[in-house]
């Protein structure tokens, strides 16, 4: 989606992750995982439920994709398995309604994000690259109130080297001139470094188990980490002034 009021085409492009970089996301999943543990209590303890759900998600990520719909399907599959088919239809209905609640939830921006984007937007064209369900991700962009700050928004099925290369190619951006910012080393940092770009890690408090990066790949990679999105602008200024980052 193009915004004609936004920055001139000669500004460099800065990639931004969305979930847990601009707004809260993982916390919503954790909250619902707690409800799911309670629901499964007649058949399994919390640890068993957690590991069964994660195993279902891991086994089905290629089928279900990332996001709320896949999460709901995985809870249903796990509930049927753990209860050996005895889970009642009304409880399946509850699981689906939790998903609807997640999809409709107000977007809670992380602290300082609006000011940080206003600052970054003066020096960069802001390209959001997020993975998950198209409707869910675009709905969050819309409800965030931030949409007019973004040059483009891309929703991809997976954040790997091929998808980053395709996005950058589509927008005429050289990887060597591209910087990506995000909370996931696995999704926002390593694949961008892998295609010759640069990346800045902004960790969030909670990381989904399936977003844990390969420690060997992390040890071999060089990238800066900052505490908050607001610190990214300072880092980019320092870099362009030739100071070490
Ligand atoms: Mg993220």
Task: Convert the pLDDT of each residue in 76-130 to its tens digit.
Answer: 999 999 999 999 999 999 999 999 999 999 999 999 999 999 999 999 999 999 9
Domain extent listing, the chain:
13-23+109-240, 26-104
Task: Convert the pLDDT of each residue in 164-214 to its tens digit.
Answer: 999 999 999 999 999 999 999 999 999 999 999 999 999 998 778 788 888
Q: What is the CA(41)–ligand 1 centre distance, in A?
A: 30
Q: What is the CA(182)–ligand 1 centre distance, in A?
A: 6
Contact yes or no for 159/129 (Cβ under 8 A) = yes
SS3 for 9? coil
CATH number, domain 13-23+109-240: 3.40.50.1000
Contact yes or no for 182/199 (Cβ under 8 A) = yes
Q: What is the CA(157)–ligand 1 centre distance, in A?
A: 13
In angstroms and rounded to an integer, the radius of gyration of the C-alpha atoms of the chain is 19
CATH number of the domain at 26-104, out of 1.25.40.10, 1.10.3720.10, 1.10.620.20, 1.10.150.240?
Answer: 1.10.150.240
DSSP string, 196-212: T-EEEE---S---GGGP
Looking at the DSSP bridge assignments, the partners of residue 180 are 15, 199
pTM, two decimals, is 0.90
Contact yes or no for 174/196 (Cβ under 8 A) = no
Show Cβ contacts of residue 238 under 8 Å, excluding neighbours closer than 6 positions.
244, 245
Of 29-38, 132-141, 234-243, least confident by mean pLDDT is 234-243
Q: What is the CA(128)–ligand 1 centre distance, in A?
A: 11
Contact yes or no for 154/16 (Cβ under 8 A) = no
Query: At residue 220, what are phi and psi to the nearest 5 degrees?
Result: -85, -10
- Cα separation of 233 and 143, whole Å? 24
Q: What is the CA(218)–ligand 1 centre distance, in A?
A: 17
Q: What is the CA(51)–ligand 1 centre distance, in A?
A: 22
Task: Convert the pLDDT of each residue in 8-21 to its tens digit.
Answer: 678 999 999 999 99
- Cα separation of 189 and 211, whole Å? 12
Q: What is the CA(26)–ligand 1 centre distance, in A?
A: 8
Pairing, β 179-182 against β 125-131: unpaired
Q: What is the CA(31)–ligand 1 centre distance, in A?
A: 17
CA angle 34, 27, 82 (to 5 degrees): 30
């Amino acid at each position: 989606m193009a915004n004609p009021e936004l920055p001139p085409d000669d500004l460099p492009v800065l990639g931004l992750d969305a979930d847990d970089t601009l707004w809260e996301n993982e916390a919503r999943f954790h909250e619902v995982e707690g409800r799911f543990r309670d629901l499964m209590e007649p058949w399994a303890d919390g640890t068993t439920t957690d590991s069964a759900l994660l195993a279902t998600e891991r086994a089905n990520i290629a089928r279900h994709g990332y996001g709320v719909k896949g999460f709901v399907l995985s809870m249903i599959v796990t509930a049927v398995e753990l209860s050996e088919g005895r889970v009642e239809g009304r409880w399946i209905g509850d699981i689906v309604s939790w998903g609807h609640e997640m999809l409709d939830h107000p977007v809670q921006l992380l602290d300082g994000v609006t000011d940080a984007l206003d600052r970054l937007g003066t020096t960069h064209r802001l390209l959001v690259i997020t993975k998950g369900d198209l409707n869910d991700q675009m709905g969050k962009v819309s409800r965030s109130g931030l949409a007019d700050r973004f040059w483009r928004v891309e929703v991809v099925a997976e954040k790997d080297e091929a998808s980053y290369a395709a996005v950058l190619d589509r927008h005429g951006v050289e990887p060597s001139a591209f910087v990506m910012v995000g909370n996931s080393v696995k999704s926002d940092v390593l694949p961008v470094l892998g295609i010759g770009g640069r990346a800045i890690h902004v960790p969030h408090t909670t990381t989904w188990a399936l977003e844990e990066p390969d420690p060997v790949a992390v040890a071999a990679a060089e990238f800066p980490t900052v505490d908050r999105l607001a610190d990214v602008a300072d880092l980019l200024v320092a870099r362009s002034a030739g100071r070490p980052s």
